[in-house]
Structure 1
């Protein structure tokens, strides 16, 4: 009976069949639950805040808007692609194929017009030859760099600068930053901007919530002690989260992987300054 229920649920919800996806969904549900708990406890305990919402509704409306926008941005970022190297290779190959088809159609049109002399522009010929992925990647590295130095040992493909293999996703990511467990995806070239906006919104929401918690403690510190204990414990975790988010904002321009590469290989400093900003 239980096996039938399990099989039926897997058919209705294919995402639950994979343990990794189940873990990712669980983390996302936990993060949403944390947001609801922090806001809900404050609304439940602080009667003055409810009265203020009636007299000054725009204040509460702004907070709820920021709350909703932050969660929406979270799901948008979690569902976005970080930009995989394999996708870039496919795009390069598609561009190469289209260029070849355009060249073939142009040659056929010249033949129909009775053209005898066929001229080939050297710049176009070089462009056709340079659209392969290997040559594109080689041009991004300093001359003389060995191909094995930027070939992924897991995917066996050439990695452009700042790309790295993610062991959680088992794929090479362009401009790899880190694998975010809470988002369930990597942060890379494709979604770094979305991630930055999410961190900004989350920081603003966290800061606003900390202020509301402090105002509650200031006005109700002697009313009910067990409520104060709960608020203080939540406030401590909020402050720790706020410090972490502020550090992320400060270092969002120079990511964890970039710092490791720069300080491990000093000769990449000039290359990083010229090509990676």
Structure 2
């Protein structure tokens, strides 16, 4: 009985080894990716410092050392938190507005091909309008507060989300729909297991594009009319040839974009755990 139990336990030990090996491999790949990103950041900082000192000149592009000093000064006097929060608020609220409207519009257009084909020329015409040139109109209509900046951001994001969601719905495999219909699946089950999973990759891709557009829209709105925010700080610093201040605000904007993308990556892993490329 002891020999039999030992033989039965051997496959269990053997089967646990590949799982442990895969976990170690995933951990090593994650560590290697983090080290590669850190090395890339260090390389860019060193290249920037050398270019400012020996090639372009500090008065034109400042230096990472001076920017770090300015960040510390702004952190101590509280201006960093004020300007960063203002831009973050405008970009985030506008991004949420654009994503919500884009999902609704994309679903309507994706489910109604006739409607989509009818308004597609007008939709593409409006999408082609440079929202930067419309920024002064938003300020005139809605003032210089949060609503004007968020609406400008939403107008830049909504079309990207809408078009991607529409294509995501159109790309659904008809065989999957027919299979669910043959099993008398309810409309909710159809959406839960076919429509939404097919739409999520397109939606996340559009949000990733929209993150950059949201920050650009917030900065443009602040350049047109604002008294605080990172965009306003860039304009104010540039007007007095304070390149350190201008580049400091740009660095903070870059960090905000990285935070937004990192949060989206976490959401992507949670929503698309079934994809090996995402879960690994």
What TM-score bracket applies, with the shorter chain setting the length? under 0.3
Structure with larger Rg = 1
Higher strand share: 1
TM-score by structure 1 length? 0.22
TM-score by structure 2 length? 0.22
